[in-house]
Amino acid sequence: MKILVAIAFILIIGSLASALVFLMKDRGKDSRTVKALALRVGFSITLFILILLANYFGLIQPTGIRG
């Protein structure tokens, strides 16, 4: 489960970086930036749902705040 979360996090950061590159290259003349940001949002939502499902099926356990 940790590997899936790490891979999803890397995809989210990669999509954000590609959106920045497209923003700098295109100067707003192409929609590649919007597509990359939409992909990032999709990855983020997928990661959130994956974490919720893993919690529901008992693959991960909440630890709470330890102080």
Instruction: Tell me, yes or no, whether 61 lies in a domain.
Output: no
Could you tell me if 33 and 65 are in contact, meaning their C-beta atoms sit under 8 angstroms apart?
A: no
> How many domains in the chain?
1
The band of 17, judged by pLDDT with boundaries at 50, 70 and 90, is very high
Encoded tokens for 55 = 């919690």
Instruction: Tell me, yes or no, whether 64 lies in a domain.
Output: no
Instruction: Tell me, yes or no, whether 42 lies in a domain.
Output: yes
- Interhelix angle 32-56/2-26, rounded to 10 degrees, is 170
The structure's pTM equals: 0.76
DSSP string for residues in 3-62: HHHHHHHHHHHHHHHHHHHHHHHHTTSSSHHHHHHHHHHHHHHHHHHHHHHHHHTTSS--
Could you tell me if 5 and 47 are in contact, meaning their C-beta atoms sit under 8 angstroms apart?
A: yes
Instruction: Tell me, yes or no, whether 66 lies in a domain.
Output: no
Domain of residue 51 covers: 2-56
Instruction: Tell me, yes or no, whether 34 lies in a domain.
Output: yes
Instruction: Tell me, yes or no, whether 63 lies in a domain.
Output: no
pLDDT single digits (tens) 40-55: 999 999 999 999 999 9
